[in-house]
Amino acid sequence: MIEANTLSLGLIGDNIARSRSPGLHRLAGGQNGIAVTYDRLVPKDLEESFEQVFARCLTGGYRGINVTYPYKERVTQALRIDDPLVKAIGAVNTVIFEPDGPRGHNTDYSGFVAAYTQVRGSAGTGPVLMIGTGGVGRAVAFGLVALGTRELRLVDRDAAKAEALAEALQAADPQMQVTIWLDPEKAAEGASGLINCTPVGMVGYGGTPLPRAAMTGAKWAFDAVYTPADTQFLTDAEAQGLTVISGWELFFFQGVHAWAFFSGLPLDEAQLRRDLSREEETA
């Protein structure tokens, strides 16, 4: 559905004014001689519900859309999901509009695995604390399954969400020990990996979900937030000597994988990184 060397894409989410996705996909299109339009669609700004915005996308000439916070779980109700893994995750960030209806994919999952291995190679994760069990948290948790994590501690203000994720993970990997905690500082004791999958720290949601002192003894940290890339959570982790995995890496790889779904066309990933960095420097 690339017509006349043009490709129409979009992003539905809240607080996405600083999203780098439009630039990533425009640059990806440029590598392939395709003009890409990529619209930011914020339901509250459009004075519509998520469902209304999504319905307009269905008939609006889009090849596909990305979906971000807080709609990744909500969108699944409107989609056909063929991949059993994505069904188990229960969250979608990439939607392709096919002639027989919209289909859902999850490139947060594959993007996190790629981001982790980019920084830590084949190193084991060790026991992991993950704060936040919403859409991106579910994808990251299943990424941890793929990485061989044997112990995962979940923290979320919504206990029902944490319990639902724990059940899904146990069904996918009965050997994984999954526990639910109320206090992130207690849960951090003895953890090797620390993960933030909440919006805390992004533009408009200042702060950090875990005090710096609680990071002592951990080996690595990942923050799903990438606007800004240098969140307080990661700045504190680096100061404590942890290896940090930026949310920018997840953003990059999920975007590369989404591009494959949107277009089926190749990418020079190294060039895309350079071009994105150049744009950020001049922004």
3-state secondary structure of 93: coil
- Separation CA 206–CA 200 (nearest Å): 6
Where would I find the beta strands (DSSP E) of 46-121? 64-67, 94-98, 101-105
Q: Which residues contact 108 (CB under 8 A, 6 or more apart)?
A: 72, 91, 93, 135, 136, 139, 140, 250, 254
CA distances for 188 relative to 181, 191, 221, 229, 274, angstroms: 10, 5, 11, 22, 36
Residue where the block lists tokens 């229960």:
90
Handedness of CA 70, 13, 276, 278 (dihedral sign): negative
Strands 193-196 and 243-245, sheet pairing: unpaired
Active-site residue, 69 included: no
Catalytic choice (38, 62, 69, 71): 71
Q: Which 8-state DSSP code applies to residue 205?
A: S
Radius of gyration of the chain (CA): 18
Residue 171 burial (10 A CB sphere; 0-12, 13-18, 19+): exposed
DSSP string for 138-189 = HHHHHHHHHTT--EEEEE-S-HHHHHHHHHHHHHH-TTSEEEEES-HHHHTT
Q: Could you give the residue numbers annotated as active site?
A: 71
